[in-house]
């Protein structure tokens, strides 16, 4: 089994509210609002639901993966809540930052040290991230655009200002659980 099936990671079909939030988050103003507020809102939702829900899962029906990297400067563990794309029975990540001009810190951290952990619904796995090939990047964007059209808007908005990095996650330990 691959990482996606091992974690039972998938996105739900969108109801009307989910479709609206997915559309709004893909716009320039929506991307800005979510880039500056989602992390804080998500922390509150995760805490209040005792980890059972996240803001994107409630608002947009999107599964949220907690990705923990090692800070490239600090050496400290850093966690980010990200929307992953199921890809070839593993997971892929797109460093879109809601279409903002800056590259997200987690991308730079993975480039410096590709070893990370991912957690979904209480299950944690060790992973290694590798840069997606150009062909894989195109496939991942096409798949991601099917469940969240905002990714395509972000890519168009960023244009030539920066390169959106894509990563494919692999399980170095063949899916063994981390910890007890």
Q: Which domain holds residue 58?
A: 3-170
- Please report, in tens digits, the pLDDT of each residue of the chain (180 residues total): 689 988 989 888 888 988 888 888 888 888 888 888 888 888 888 788 877 778 888 888 888 899 999 999 999 999 898 999 999 989 999 999 988 888 999 999 999 999 999 999 888 999 999 999 999 999 999 999 998 888 888 888 887 778 899 999 998 754 455 554
Q: What is the CATH number of the domain that holds 121?
A: 2.30.110.10
User: Does residue 178 sit within a domain?
Assistant: no
Per-residue CA distances from 28 to 58, 86, 96, 169 (Å): 22, 25, 13, 29
User: Does residue 175 sit within a domain?
Assistant: no
Distant-in-sequence, close-in-space partners of 101: CB < 8 Å, separation ≥ 6? 158, 161, 162
Q: Retrieve residue 92's tokens.
A: 């892929």
Q: pTM value?
A: 0.84
User: Does residue 180 sit within a domain?
Assistant: no
Distant-in-sequence, close-in-space partners of 67: CB < 8 Å, separation ≥ 6? 79, 80, 81, 82, 93, 106, 116, 117, 118
């Amino acid at each position: 089994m691959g990482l996606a099936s091992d974690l039972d990671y998938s996105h739900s079909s969108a109801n009307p509210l989910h479709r609206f939030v997915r559309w709004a988050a893909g716009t320039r103003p929506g991307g800005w609002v979510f880039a500056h507020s989602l992390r804080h809102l998500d922390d509150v939702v995760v805490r209040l639901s005792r980890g059972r829900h996240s803001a994107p899962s409630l608002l947009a029906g999107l599964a949220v993966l907690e990705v923990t990297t090692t800070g490239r400067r600090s050496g400290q563990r850093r966690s980010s809540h990200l929307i992953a794309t199921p890809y070839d029975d593993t997971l892929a990540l797109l460093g879109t930052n809601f279409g903002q001009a800056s590259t997200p810190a987690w991308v730079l951290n993975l480039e410096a040290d590709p070893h990370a952990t991912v957690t979904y619904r209480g299950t944690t796995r060790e992973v290694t991230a590798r840069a997606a090939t150009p062909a894989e990047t195109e496939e991942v964007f096409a798949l991601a655009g099917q469940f969240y059209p905002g990714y395509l808007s972000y890519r168009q908005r960023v244009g030539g200002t920066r390169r959106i990095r894509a990563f494919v996650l692999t399980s170095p330990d063949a899916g063994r659980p981390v910890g007890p």
